[in-house]
Amino acid sequence: MDTKKPTLDKDLDKFWSFEKATNLVARGYVAPGLAFVFIAIVAVVAGSYFSGSSNTWLIVAAAAIGGYMALNIGANDVANNVGPAVGSNAMTMGTALVVAAIFESAGALIAGGDVVSTISKGIINVEAIADYQVFNAAMMAALVSAALWVNLATWIGAPVSTTHSIVGGVMGAGIAAAGFGAVNWPMMGAIASSWVISPVLGGVIAALFLALIKDRIIYQTDKIAASRRWVPVLIAVMAGTFSTYLALKGLKKIIKIDMTSATMIGAGVFFLTWAIMVPLIAKQAKGLDNRNQSVRKLFAIPLVFSAALLSFAHGANDVANAVGPLAAIVHTVELGDVATKVSIPLWVMIVGAMGISLGLFLFGPKLIRMVGQQITKLNPIRAYCVALSAAITVIIASALGLPVSSTHIAVGAVFGVGFFREWFTANSKKRQAQVTARNNKKADGDATKRIAGEGIAKRKLVRRSHVLTIASAWVITVPAAAIISGLIFFALSTVMVG
């Protein structure tokens, strides 16, 4: 008797074992211990690079804090990229961690760029902090406050914007160092407006795509025929959108591409993908049962690709949140001046990439489950709408020049899908007709099932407690990080400036 397992079963067992090991590592003191070891290694490496400098202690401290910030970005922010795919069961937790870690690191190292803005998005006026020692203290305070706030948000289970956290940190340190006049208040107003614009826009776009899929596929008499017609179009829309997204955001440090060129690239990818997917979906749909579960299977593989591409773009863009202030401190220590843009040494970029990946492994599953499973129930179709909405919203925001948070967009899209389901369940005539027809086929003995089915319309499909927790965390992120940063700056300035 052959007792060997098929290759697929072996691979699945490996992923299951990896996921089990990750869960074990996350328990107790193992994960914090490994995180501490990483921070210590980063400090030692930084010290070896600047062993002969009089400010070695400053570089070591900044590197350790930068590593700590990178860990927290991995723990909190990456959940937006893979959470929907995990929640819909298109990917296991173990697979998601591996895919996200690889593509986050690739995005950071390949497309993260060698130059970043030291003052995040022009929040404060550099000339207001001309003394480089004061500047270093401000950057240190911004890093520490942002990392502490993201750590706290992860602990309470709230996905927050690390970009807004570092912006709040820089603003608070700038005010403490040079007064309220040092802050670019119009820019801060634009960021504040994004708290409302980005999640609402993400939610609306996700809901519209879900409405389209329900109308054109789910509630059609022949779901499989409708799928053969519409799924290639929907996958092509995703491919074209992500091509535009990566051209604008993920590869901007390698090559500068304007909106027109990026849109043309996206259009070309759309038509190419559609031509490829039409025969593939037709083949895949052949023999499938005429039910919703069959339709969902057609969206699973595109979700894996979307998680990978979102992770790549996130690594390319958000590594600067972890290492930008660190690179600024390294620059001022080496040259003794303050600059608006600085080069990032390779070792600093590696700290950011490795920290994000390690933070994802050690602490990421908690927020991944929050985004993918605990706000509302996701399946591959709903998760597709969330992922596509995230990319489209970023493209629209880039075209309008709006500073938005990928975290707010993705979570807003999840809320949008959930609230749309509530509305649709209660108000859709097509759904009510389908439920009525199904109930009419039941025998009299199944009356309890019929009543239960009719009662679904009254269910809440979004957990309100999570709405309140997450919205509160979003609103207070910038002011909380600013207050913490200001207090830390005053403490550091007595040591670093005198």
For 255-287, what is each residue's pLDDT tens digit? 778 888 989 999 999 999 999 999 999 999 888
Residue 445: inside a domain:
no
Tell me the one-letter amino acid at 25: V
What pLDDT sits at residue 8? 47
Residue 457 clears pLDDT 50, i.e. is over it: no
Expressed as residue numbers, the domain containing 378 is: 7-427+460-496
Residue 436: inside a domain:
no
Residue 454: inside a domain:
no
pTM of the full predicted structure? 0.81
End-to-end alpha carbon distance in the chain? 79
> Which of 104-118, 144-158, 429-443 has the largest mean confidence?
144-158
Residue 477: inside a domain:
yes
**147/314: higher pLDDT:** 147
> Which of 264-268, 463-467, 491-495 has the largest mean confidence?
264-268
- As for how many domains the chain has, the answer is 1
SS (H, E, C) the chain: CCCCCCHHHHHHHHHHHHHHHHHHHHCCCHHHHHHHHHHHHHHHHHHHHCCCCCCHHHHHHHHHHHHHHHHHHHHHCCHHHHHHHHHCCCCCHHHHHHHHHHHHHHHHHHHCCCEEECCHHHCECHHHHCCHHHHHHHHHHHHHHHHHHHHHHHHHCCCCCHHHHHHHHHHHHHHHHHCHHHECHHHHHHHHHHHHHHHHHHHHHHHHHHHHHHHHHHCCCCHHHHHHHHHHHHHHHHHHHHHHHHHHHHCCCCCCCCHHHHHHHHHHHHHHHHHHHHHHHHHHHCCCCCCHHHHHHCCHHHHHHHHHHHHHHHHHHHHHHHHHHHHHHHHHHHHCCCCCEEECCHHHHHHHHHHHHHHHHHHHHHHHHHHHHHCCCCCHHHHHHHHHHHHHHHHHHHHHCCCCCHHHHHHHHHHHHHHHHHHHHHHCHHHHHHHHHHHHCCCHHHHHHHHHHHHHHHCCCCCHHHHHHHHHHHHHHHHHHHHHHHHHHHHHHHHHCC
Residue 1: inside a domain:
no
For 412-452, what is each residue's pLDDT tens digit? 999 999 999 999 888 877 776 766 666 666 545 455 544 44
Residue 72 clears pLDDT 80, i.e. is over it: yes
Residue 18: inside a domain:
yes
Residue 115 clears pLDDT 60, i.e. is over it: no
Residue 214: inside a domain:
yes
Confidence of residue 306 (pLDDT cuts 50, 70, 90): confident
Residue 383: inside a domain:
yes
Confidence of residue 208 (pLDDT cuts 50, 70, 90): very high
What pLDDT sits at residue 350? 85
Mean of the per-residue pLDDT values of the chain: 81
Confidence of residue 456 (pLDDT cuts 50, 70, 90): very low
What pLDDT sits at residue 498? 57
